[in-house]
Amino acid sequence: MAQPSFIPRQTPLDDPDGVASLVRTGLAQLQRLSGNRWTDYNLHDPGVTLLELLCFALTDLMYRADFDVADYLTQPDGRLDFAAQGLMPPERIFPARPCTRQDYQRVIQDAVDDVERAWVTSDAQGRHRIDLLLSESARQRCEHYPALRDETIAAVTQVYHRNRNLCEDLADVRIIDSRGLTLYADIELQRHDNAEVLAAEIYVQAVQWLRGESVSNGSVTDDRHDEASLIDDHPTPDADPIAVAKPVSALYTRLISIEGISHIRQLRLLPSSADEAAADGAVTHLNPGDWILLPKKHDDIHLSLTHQSHPLPIDFSAMSIRLVRRQLQSGALREQIRRQAAALTPPPQGRWRALADYRSIQALFPAVYRLDAPRFPAAMNQQEQRQIQQFRGYLLLFEQLMANFCANLANLRALFSPALDTGRSYAFGLLSDEQFRGVDDLYPDDAASRFSALLAAIDHYPDRKGRVLDYLLALYGETLDARLWHQPGDASDDDAHNHRQLDYPSRFIQSIDHLTRDRGAGFNTCRPMTHRKNRGGFTERVALLLGMDDAGAWPYSQALARQGWRFSDAGDVPHHAGSPSPLQSLDRPALDRLLDVPLREAPAPGSAEAAATARDLHALCRHLLPVTLLQHGVTLARYRIAPPRTGSRYQALFRLSPTADARNTQWLYLGDSSRPAQLVHFINQLRRTLIQLNQQCEGVYVVEHLLLRPTLHPGHLGGDRFNGQLSLILPGYTARGGDPVFRGQAEALIARQCPAHLLPRCHWLGLDAMNAFEPLWLAWLDARRHFSGQPPCDEAAARLMALLQSLSSPSPLSQPSFSHPLFSQPQGPDA
């Protein structure tokens, strides 16, 4: 049988998401459940009516679930905030940092309008030198205002330091000498009616050739980077730092290829200076700083154009208009490419939809159900009112689920984002009396808080939000290991542990463009550095990956003193008169009587326990304490409570030795009380305080040895201490910094994150050594910014370098191997 030649009409019953299909499926399920109980399942059956209306409401949910993804992320003002959703547009995430000298040249030429060309080379010490060729308009302005040269050099210096990579430095910036050349030519044309067009094209091609732009298949391309390849990668200090000279014969080849030119009889370039022209005559080779003088009036045109040996007049106005158009076309080429690239990938646009707005199906019931009656209708008795309210309660069982579904659709924008302010992954659709008539009488008192508490019991927010953050990181090819952020003692405090597990990925995503693009960047030496700003992309990335980015200010080690605590690496603890000995040794019977300290929640603010605990902590922090308490006081296993002896009180003790069975084990006295419960609260609060102190005093310092090289007498020192070396100063006095396993895993991560051509060395400093390093580091930063290249800067660098040399010299970082690593790393390029 022949197939029909038309498309068969689709009936409503064929739509699996239609009301008819849903009702049919619901009736089949009802028939299976009801068994032999008789009913005809017609529409007059209230149950069938309710089923039909619920199926109609489900189609509305299906409609809402089928919106574009952009609609779920659009804000009420109709704007899709990509940054708030952790989504970076291509123009922010794709551009890379300059890595080679050619990259630096492109960045400088794009950032500084007055620079026409730039050459970046290296001197004998490995530092960069930048030679600049100014544009024609900038050269003219500098002739009248010589101070503009210094401003241009300062602008280029700022651009370089803003894009500087690790272990790179700038030696100097200079503007090369240039000369204007006048073009003289005698050219035979193929036609007689396009003299002005070809004259403008000759000047344009000459200018582009001198700039290093080539013509390929009718389009202008940039061959400056091919020219840069002619530069010696390791020039001597006296070598030409820019490029080779160009022969004028190459210009002949460029001009003869212009369509409409028959042949060139004569081609010369003469310097603009009359004396120079008289001495040297026509130049045969052009230096990189030379430039073509464009005619500003008719007498400045030195082109002789002929056709069949007959001279052709050149209209200066027509040629000037054509010349300006060609210059604008050439100058706007890069901007046109950028606009076209942006047009190829337009950002998605969403539409705001009131996803959480739910309307009850009560209005859809027949009037006989009287569900739209007012709250206290005069025409109904009390029994009828109760029956109607009872039926509404039955409807609420179904409609609350659908309202929750709508609320969770509206919650998608907050869930799929790096923001952590909501603290929940599920949403509850709390209905109002306008949405569902009579719901106020059905909800319990304080419904919002009670429903929130019910959701919190089943909402595993850290796990669900963590998976969303992992997904957002995977969009950019990043994989983070949350185990490195684990602080000893966090396992006892789930809230603190969960906060760190989410806070670091959230912060990483919010700065994903900077942390990926600038992963090998150094800090800007022209700007002040703080604990949050201008640390350099490498330092910020390593600090975040290691979980050492919680300090509120620096110097990092001074966070302890800012909080009123004093710690020392020395083992001796001073004894204050009128108080028990701070260090105690216990015999075996005393050890057997020690009481364990259970985990307790913090007392309520303003309570008597909270006030007493605060007083005990204040009394303890006034004393000089061993740094062992800071390192190991984050775990309850080191604490004990000693029962009172004759005429004494309960004492809170901290074990200084790793094990309690060791001989000559010393215990640090922390405080005493007549009530052991008070000491339990005191020890738990002390442990929480020490965990916070560990987080706040951890940070990463990155010292680039090349920046410490003396500028006045650099040849007196060898280069092995400066070239390609980094020193990372890390806290060895914290709970994590004192763990050898964590140190090994941290050094392995640093080795993977560091650029391959650099040699990083880690120094884990004790508290006293860190207190000696940080003042020297800050003094050098200040001297570098204000006295760069002067004796104060060299003196500060020498003191800092001497301290680094006095530290223990570990071997270069390598991947350590542990049989059972505590902080194992995932596999991946960004692990």
Q: What is the DSSP string of 735-799?
A: TTTT-HHHHHHHHHHHHHHS-TTSEEEEEEE-HHHHHHHHHHHHHHHHHHHHSTTSHHHHHHHHH
Lookup: tokens for 122: 């290296």
Determine the pLDDT at residue 125: 73
Q: Exposed, middle or buried, 219 (CB in 10 Å: 0-12/13-18/19+)?
A: exposed
CA 252/CA 246 separation, integer angstroms: 12
Q: What global pTM score does this model have?
A: 0.79
Tokens standing for 770?
A: 């860190």
- By DSSP bridging, strand 261-271 and strand 128-134 are unpaired
Closest to 22 measured CA to CA, from 1, 42, 43, 51: 51
Please report the pLDDT score of residue 763 as a whole number: 95
Residue 213 confidence (pLDDT): 66
- Beta strands 666-673 and 650-655 are antiparallel
The predicted pLDDT at position 173 comes to: 93
Q: List own/partner pairs for 479-482 with CB under 8 A and 24 or more apart.
A: 479/826, 479/828, 479/830, 479/831, 480/504, 480/505, 480/508, 480/545, 480/830, 481/545, 481/823, 481/824, 481/825, 481/826, 481/831
Instruction: Take residue 467 and report the two structure tokens written for it.
Output: 């998976």
Rounded distance between C-alpha atoms, residue 264 and residue 252, angstroms: 8
DSSP structure string for 50-63: HHHHHHHHHHHHHH
With b for 16 or more beta-carbon neighbours within 10 A and e for fewer, the 79-112 pattern comes to: ebeeebbbbbeeeeeeeebbeebbbbbbbbbebb
Q: What is the DSSP secondary-structure string of 497-513? A: HHHHHHHHHHHHHHTHH
Percent of the chain with pLDDT over 70: 83
pLDDT at 231: 36
Q: Token pair for residue 447? A: 């419904």
User: Could you give the residue ranges of the DSSP H alpha helices within 163-314?
Assistant: 195-211, 224-228, 248-256, 274-280
The pairs formed by 132-137 with CB atoms below 8 angstroms and a separation of 24 or more are 132/108, 132/156, 132/173, 132/174, 132/175, 132/176, 133/175, 133/176, 133/178, 133/288, 133/289, 133/291, 134/175, 134/178, 136/291, 136/294
pLDDT in tens, 108-138: 998 998 998 899 998 877 789 999 988 878 8
Strands lying side by side in the sheet with 650-655: 583-585, 666-673, 650-655, 639-642
Pair 118, 175: CB distance under 8 Å: no
Give the Cα-Cα-Cα angle 318, 319, 320 (nearest 5 degrees): 90
- What whole-number distance in Å separates Cα of residue 794 and Cα of residue 789? 7
- Residue 381 three-state SS: coil
SS3 466: helix
What is the CA 88 to chain-centroid distance, rounded? 10
Give φ, ψ of 304 to 5 degrees.
-110, 105
Please spell the DSSP secondary structure of 127-195, one letter per residue.
Answer: -EEEEEEE-HHHHHHHHH-THHHHHHHHHHHHHHHHTPBTT--EEEEEEPP--EEEEEEEEEES-SS-H
Separation CA 62–CA 56 (nearest Å): 10
Q: 3-state DSSP call for residue 529?
A: coil
Helix (H, G, I), strand (E, B) or coil at 304: strand
Contact criterion met (CB below 8 Å) for 129 and 111: no
- The rounded average pLDDT for each run of 10 residues, N- to C-terminus, in the chain (831 residues) is 72 73 88 76 80 93 93 93 91 88 92 90 84 86 89 95 93 85 90 87 86 54 42 39 67 89 88 54 69 85 89 89 78 59 74 92 87 69 87 93 95 93 90 90 91 90 93 93 80 68 92 93 91 90 92 88 88 60 82 89 86 90 90 91 82 84 78 90 92 92 92 57 86 93 94 93 93 94 89 92 79 42 43 43
- C-alpha distances in angstroms, 655 versus 10, 261, 339, 594, 669? 80, 95, 67, 12, 9
Residue 222 · residue 213 · CB < 8 Å: yes
For 569, which DSSP code? Answer: S
- Sequence-ordered list of residues with C-beta below 8 angstroms from that of 583, at least 6 positions apart, any chain: 573, 656, 666, 667, 668, 669
The pair of structure tokens assigned to 35 is 């068994």
Q: What Cα–Cα distance (Å) separates residue 559 from each residue in 166, 567, 624, 698?
A: 28, 11, 15, 9
Residues in Cβ contact with 498 at an 8 Å cutoff, skipping those fewer than 6 apart: 461, 462
> How many other CB atoms are there within 10 angstroms of residue 278's CB atom?
10
Q: What is the pLDDT of residue 215?
A: 55
Q: Which structure tokens are listed for 373? A: 């009656």
Q: What is the pLDDT of residue 429?
A: 92
